[in-house]
Structure 1
């Protein structure tokens, strides 16, 4: 998943500092010069962030009068903390983790829910008989922890399992080696990353790469325990400033164009990500681009980035009620104040549509990507 690999407790401690005082935002492009913007990403450069990379490369942000600098993430970076402390203008973060930060005082608001769907799987060998959450009973179940485990725990709980008694929980590394070596029965994976690692591995019995037929997937969207993931977060206090409001609409308008570009040009966006310095190979990045597009497109309703109330409520409910192996929940109470708003994304959608951008991608069809050994 490579999103925010910080222990949840550390994340909460880091975000307890709240929102730093920030100067008034200059009107974007008011003087004719580009307004500098910093966007904090969740992790290292990869196709998960291709829409933002494309918006920079294709000049979509500059069209809006913005000079956007992408800040690469890493193991010791919590994006919403960077935003809340005034070191970035916007940040990309999963909704549950960002809400945990809000509960500890970080002044942030979801202004664009770019990923409409969760990409989290639990993967098992096809011959294991594991096809749904209930089948995990009595099995060795890998999970990353660090706040990434709640869809899994919610799915098991919904299936009538007690995660503390009915399964053997195993701390999983951020790869698929434990499953490949059959040290665990089911492994956590993102559709766009770790799952591909399985299909890039060679079956020692045949000398050929594994295929999807070798594995079974539990998709938390199907199980009804999925949670909202990548979103654009803004500084709540600064959203009181009309200039920051206008800047946010401009930023989101260009971001929509970036993601539409990657929907229509996945191979070009793969190349942009590789050129940006990603450590992942070209076939892996094309797989990731294709799978990420599935999480964004088609965009139901008004278009990309609009926060679906039902999905938001499900995310909040799971965050409040689902306990992990240490008995912790993501949230102690429902979010207070402006945790999200569709005001700015709706304005951005209107502007993008006026510029001829397809904001719903209703005709989107994913490609078939052929992976190579190691994702090269």
Structure 2
């Protein structure tokens, strides 16, 4: 249903189109709308503050903590009335960077591109500690290692990042990326595309991989993090903009306190969390949501001290990798791209 190309690389491409429009400013004009970043917590009259958080794509288990926080009243306890919205034509990054909404779901690769172009996005939490994406192929295609990509048809979006990652891991295995045929998948989902005209694609296992399991379709999955430490980056992340951080840090703190509770609940009780997501988004396949949640919940925090924590070395390693491959115009100032300052102290909300 959802490929990484649609979730991640497509978002990067959309962001690149709006970089110039953002003008590279370090802050955006203040939005006086209630959903913007001015003012935090409850108002003087005791009313909840209206706040929007924009998703990167269609709701899925990457987002469960948001829905749990809303369902369980964690946002209300923090003085917030949070509305979870889907991105407009320009994408979530553009909406957050322009200060149209204070919070959104993005990706380390997208934030890295943005920061080096002067776009004021800042990551405030890693939704998942380790990269769960990779190249997936039906087992009958015989793709057991990156070298096996040779002579095969890859379905993607034509992004330079795709070819760079493929080239990087193929070279480690003695492969030649020029021997891979690239095909634009368009709007086709993974399962349609592999039956029609491709052999493999880049997916998030937590959704497309689990869906394959449910369909009884066996996959060979090559996780990119297994081939390079630099490719074990954060995807997805929760982002805000520099204007919100500077003008209303209490809002960010309140939002992250409640959101962290939501993800901790999803870690501790994946089945109940899956029910909440399915209740909020009834058009999703309930069995897929449950299976995906059971697979993903232990991976939200994984080996980190607490959910959401980000490491400077992860940001630097991936940005250096991108810069070395001419995917960035200049090196990233990693320490400005993310912050852990708004996560609950000592893991407590």
Instruction: Give yes or no for contact 2:69–2:258 (8 Å, CA) kept in 1.
Output: yes
* TM-score using structure 1 length: 0.78
Find the residue that maps to 2:201 and give its secondary structure.
strand
Find the residue that maps to 1:333 and give its secondary structure.
coil
Counterpart of 1:358? none
Counterpart of 1:321? 324
Counterpart of 2:30? 22
Cα displacement (A) at 1:157? 4.2
Instruction: Give yes or no for contact 1:16–1:105 (8 Å, CA) kept in 2.
Output: no
Alignment match of 2:71 (pick from 57, 60, 64):
57
Cα displacement (A) at 1:342? 1.8
Cα displacement (A) at 1:70? 0.9
Structure 1 residues 276 and 99, CA, compared in 2 at 3 Å: closer, same or farther? same
Alignment match of 1:260 (pick from 260, 264, 267):
264
Aligned ranges for residues 91-240 of structure 1 at < 5 Å?
Answer: 91-145=104-158, 149=162, 151-163=165-177, 165-172=178-185, 173-180=188-195, 183-201=197-215, 209-210=216-217, 214-224=218-228, 225-240=231-246
Structure 1 residues 162 and 95, CA, compared in 2 at 3 Å: closer, same or farther? same
Listed one character per residue, the Cα deviations across residues 238-280 of structure 1 (whole Å, up to 9, x for unaligned) are 3223xx2122122111111101111222222222222223533
Alignment match of 2:338 (pick from 316, 337, 340):
340
- Structure 1 residues without counterparts, runs of 5 or longer: 202-208, 324-328, 356-376
Listed one character per residue, the Cα deviations across residues 309-354 of structure 1 (whole Å, up to 9, x for unaligned) are 232222212322346xxxxx2x222224721122222xx143x52x
Instruction: Give yes or no for contact 1:50–1:259 (8 Å, CA) kept in 2.
Output: yes
Find the residue that maps to 1:141 and give its secondary structure.
strand
Structure 1 residues 248 and 58, CA, compared in 2 at 3 Å: closer, same or farther? same
Q: Distance in 2 between matches of 1:254 and 1:10?
A: 30
Structure 1 residues 145 and 200, CA, compared in 2 at 3 Å: closer, same or farther? farther
Counterpart of 1:365? none
**Number of residues of Structure 1 aligned to a counterpart in Structure 2:** 329
Structure 1 residues 82 and 30, CA, compared in 2 at 3 Å: closer, same or farther? same
Find the residue that maps to 2:238 and give its secondary structure.
strand
Aligned ranges for residues 3-22 of structure 1 at < 5 Å?
Answer: 3=7, 6=10, 8-18=12-22, 19-22=27-30
Give the root-mean-square deviation of aligned CA atoms.
2.6
Structure 1 residues 10 and 79, CA, compared in 2 at 3 Å: closer, same or farther? closer
Cα displacement (A) at 1:120? 1.1
Q: Distance in 2 between matches of 1:116 and 1:185?
A: 29
* TM-score using structure 2 length: 0.84
Q: Distance in 1 between matches of 2:104 and 2:237?
A: 8
